[in-house]
Amino acid sequence: MTGRELQTLRLLLSPLDVVRDMTDLVAALKEPGTFAYVGQGPVSAAELPAFIAGLAGRGITWTIRRLADNIAIGFCSLEVLAPAGVWAEFGIVLAPSSHGAGFATEATNAVIDSAFAQPRLEGVLAGMKPGNAAARKLVERLGFVPIGNVPGPRSDELAYRLNRADREAITSGRSS
């Protein structure tokens, strides 16, 4: 799966360009609390450049910018899972100052639409800590359903799934 630029009402999602986006993403992600619930735990300001560079090697990562002022507010990602390549894992991290405005819902909808434009893809998964109420609300609002714990080393996380049929039911309702 290759990434392309995605535009929504208020956001521009551009495939991560580490050189172009580094300074802006460091500025966004160094806000205190950004990594409160993210899998690997807090990332210090000093560690952010290596963390951001590392995002480039995993699936597609998009830098999320507000269209109005081009300010970067975070990133989201989609990684096709081996071995079959018919499921993809979604992730998103926004700076806390951009929470509560619907930006995550807007960005996630665009990424999910682009994922299901790939005919082979059966569904999208997301994993999160059980106490991550904002992330659970986000995925539940978009129609993901809980399917138990993530297998393997992230078994402290809940897994959510959105399959193609469920997404199609939601989007056909959305446009009618």
The residue from 12, 28, 77, 103 that contacts ligand COA (CB under 6 A) is: 103
Q: Is the CB of 119 or the CB of 174 nearer to ligand COA?
A: 174
Does the protein bind ligand COA through residue 159 (CB under 6 A)? Answer: no
Which of 121, 134, 124 has its CA nearest to residue 162?
124
Task: Please report whether residue 37 would count as binding ligand COA according to CB under 6 A.
Answer: yes
CB of 91 to ligand COA, least distance (A): 5
Q: Of these, 4, 20, 58, 137, which contacts ligand COA (CB under 6 A)?
A: 137
Distance CA 18, CA 54 (A): 9
Give dist(CA 40, CA 48) in Å, integer.
13
Closer residue to ligand COA, CB minimum distance, 32 or 119: 32
- Phi, psi for 164 (deg, rounded to 5): -60, -45
CB 54 within 8 A of CB 3: no
Residues binding ligand COA: number (CB under 6 A): 20
138: contact with ligand COA by CB under 6 A: yes
Place of tokens 């590392």: 54
Among 48, 91, 111, 115, binds ligand COA (CB under 6 A): 91
Q: Which two tokens stand for residue 83?
A: 């071995």
> Residue 56's closest CA among 96, 14, 116?
14
List residues near ligand COA by CB under 6 A: 37-38, 91-94, 99-105, 126, 128, 132, 134-135, 137-138
